[in-house]
Each structure stands twice: as structure tokens, then as C-alpha cells.
Amino acid sequence: IQRINSDLANDLGNLVSRTVGMIDKYFGGTLPAERTATAFDEDLKAVALSTTEKVENAMEKMFFSDALVEIWNLVRRTNKYIDETQPWILCKDEDKKAELANALYNVAESIRIISILIQPFMPNTPEKIWAQYNITEGDATAWDSTKTWGVLPAELNVQKGETLFPRIDMKKELAELEAAIKASQATSVANQQKKEEKKAEAESEYPAEITIDDFCKVQLKVGEVLESKEVEGSKKLLRNVVKLGDEERVIFSGIKDAYAPGELVGKRVVVAYNLKPRKMMGEMSYGMILCAEDGDGKLSVLTTDDKDFASGSSIS
């Protein structure tokens, strides 16, 4: 945004528009052929005619940013030339009209050279500049013409055109960017949650047959549900806090369709105690509450008949 507002809008865009504006205001849009040189002309010409070689050398080495630096040195030198010649003061003296015409012609010629040199970087911009200075594609827009000064016609006609680089509202643009980032992050989180839910569902499907050695690896314990809450952003999960003896664990369960939040509080449930913890909804789940499922997919949490059975007790 700073690059657009500074280098493009302020430096180049303003240079083009203000020059067209002054030619239109002081000469009715057409520069007269009669001119008188100023003390600042030769330095501007020298900088302009040396820029092409510097740009070519940088481009040959693929130092594209260096090439742009050289072009913008010419842009800034041209703006400085306007400050040196002060057209707004020359216009007040009829005897200085030829000097004023000379100054504005030199600025326009420098802009012509700049417009050609920026083509590799901004291919659509040169034509917009040429339209305002009535430059048709041909000898005056050829790359080699940037090495010659005074290619523009003596009686140059100009016409105002569109703003080349409209300034960007920094605060508004950053606010829109921040909103877009947040929306993207929200979508990413939602997609990740869906993946985790699908993974949880897949992990809940066990092989039909296991050996006794496999079964002996599973440690089952009695747990008392202290808390059971909804999980924001999930359609199936409940976040349960389960007491297992002297410890409390967070266990996520996909049973929201079968149990309302809080309905399990106080129940003593069967917990797969040594199940490897996994991250769900941005938090670790330590264990699994066992359920029965009928042919219609209805779930029922496995509980102990004796509610006085101590939490943390082993089931074998």
C-alpha cells in the first residue's frame, strides 16, 4: 500500500497528471514551438539519456529491482526539475512563456522515456500515459527512442485522462485484509474440526475379532462424570470431565445426539483408561467412555449398577 501510494501515486502518477494539467491550464492543451532554455535543462537530459543504459545493464543481469531504482531516480529527478523551473511562477510573466513552454516540454519528454522504460514491469500503464500526451505507438514509443532527446513533436497536444494510480485508504484496506484473514482462519478451523470428527468416527470402529492378548492390553475403569458440556463448532461431541479415583480427565465423546449436556453428570461410566490420548477440537482427550449401540445407531452409555462403586475401580 505504501509503495502504491508513494512511488506510484505520488511520484509517477502525480508527475503525469500535474504536467498535463499545467499544459492544459497555461497553454490550452497545446505547447507552442517557441522555447527558451533554462539553467536546469542539461542535467535533466543527462540523467534521462543515461538511464536506459543503466536499466539495460541491470535487466541483463536480472537485477530487476535495480532497474526499477534507476527508473525511479529519473522520476524523482523530473519532479525535482519542476520544482527548479517553477512553472507556477513562470506563468505569471508573459516574457517567460517561452521558458515555461520549454520546461513543460522537457518534463513531457522525460515522462515519454519513463513510460517506455516501465513497460517490462507495468505493461498496461504506458498506453494510458501515451493517451494523455497523444503519443501513438511507433518511433516515439520504441525502446531505442529512449536514447534520444526531443522525440516528442514541437507543438505537443495533451488531454487529461484517468488517474493512473488511485491512492489506497490504508485503514480501510488493512481492515478488509484483517477480515479476510479471519474468515480464512475460521474456514480452516472448521475444516480441521470436520477432519478430526471423521477421524474420531473412524477410530471408533474396531475389528470384529481380537485375541485375549489384545483384550488384556485394554485397562477399563469406573469413572464418575463431574461435568458434561457442548463443544462449540461440533455437532456430535460432548466435553466430559470424568473423575477416576484421585484424578480428573477430559474425555470427548460423540454422544451429543443421545445425551443432552449435563445429563451424564453424576453417572458412573465405564472408561477405556489407557487409550492413547488424542487431540480433539484443539484439546487433548484422555480415554473413552464406552457405549452400546443398537441397530438404529442409538447409543447408551455403559454404567455400573452400583452407584456407590468407587470411581477409579478397575473392571476385569
CATH of residue 307's domain is 2.40.50.140
- Rounded to an integer, what distance in angstroms lies between the CA atom of residue 165 and that of residue 167? 6
- Rounded to an integer, what distance in angstroms lies between the CA atom of residue 92 and that of residue 96? 8
Average pLDDT over residues 40-52: 97
DSSP 8-class letter at 303? B
- Rounded to an integer, what distance in angstroms lies between the CA atom of residue 63 and that of residue 26? 41
Nearest to 264 by CA among 273, 276, 252, 282: 252
For residue 57, the model assigns a pLDDT of: 97
pLDDT band at 156 (very low <50, low <70, confident <90, very high): very high
| Range of weakest confidence among 169-173, 219-223, 281-285 | 169-173
Same domain? For 270 and 153 the reply is: no
For residue 307, the model assigns a pLDDT of: 62
Domain final residue pick, 168, 189, 204: 168
Q: Are 262 and 239 in contact (CB under 8 A)?
A: no
For residue 306, the model assigns a pLDDT of: 64
Q: How many CB atoms lie within 10 A of CB 156?
A: 22
Say which CATH number the domain at 107 has. Answer: 1.10.730.10
Nearest to 268 by CA among 307, 229, 231, 233: 307
pLDDT tens-digit readout, 54-86: 999 999 999 999 999 999 999 999 999 999 999
For residue 145, the model assigns a pLDDT of: 96
Between 221 and 6, residue with greater pLDDT: 221
Q: Are 185 and 277 in contact (CB under 8 A)?
A: no
pLDDT at 172 over 70: yes
- Rounded to an integer, what distance in angstroms lies between the CA atom of residue 289 and that of residue 223? 9
Q: Are 236 and 254 in contact (CB under 8 A)?
A: yes
For residue 205, the model assigns a pLDDT of: 57
Q: Does residue 185 fall inside a structural domain?
A: no
Average pLDDT over residues 29-35: 93
Residue 263 three-state SS: coil
- What is the pLDDT of the chain when averaged over all its residues? 90
Q: How many CB atoms lie within 10 A of CB 10?
A: 14
- Rounded to an integer, what distance in angstroms lies between the CA atom of residue 183 and that of residue 76? 41
Average pLDDT over residues 278-294: 91
C-alpha to C-alpha distances, 136 to 18, 38, 126, 131, 279, nearest whole angstrom: 21, 28, 11, 8, 66
Domain final residue pick, 168, 184, 204: 168
Paired strand residues for 223 = 269
Same domain? For 134 and 37 the reply is: yes
Same domain? For 220 and 162 the reply is: no
Q: Does residue 101 fall inside a structural domain?
A: yes
| Range of weakest confidence among 23-27, 170-174, 219-223, 288-292 | 170-174
Same domain? For 10 and 117 the reply is: yes
Cell numbers for 269: 461410566
pTM: 0.57
Same domain? For 6 and 125 the reply is: yes
Same domain? For 54 and 108 the reply is: yes
pLDDT at 204 over 80: no
Q: Are 226 and 241 in contact (CB under 8 A)?
A: yes
Q: Which range of residues forms the domain containing residue 310?
A: 212-315
- Rounded to an integer, what distance in angstroms lies between the CA atom of residue 289 and that of residue 254? 10
Q: Which residue, chain included where needed, has cell 501515486?
A: 9
| 243-267 exposure pattern, b = at least 16 Cβ within 10 A, e = fewer | bbeeeebbbbbbbbebbeeeebeeb
Number of domains in the chain: 2
Q: Does residue 228 fall inside a structural domain?
A: yes
Q: Does residue 34 fall inside a structural domain?
A: yes
Cell numbers for 73: 531516480
Cell numbers for 176: 478488509
Same domain? For 148 and 7 the reply is: yes
For residue 162, the model assigns a pLDDT of: 87
Q: What is the CA radius of gyration of the chain?
A: 38
| Range of weakest confidence among 50-54, 161-165, 241-245, 293-297 | 293-297
Gap between the terminal Cα atoms of the chain: 68
For residue 152, the model assigns a pLDDT of: 94
For residue 119, the model assigns a pLDDT of: 95
Helix (H) or strand (E) run with residue 51 in it: helix 41-60
Q: Does residue 253 fall inside a structural domain?
A: yes
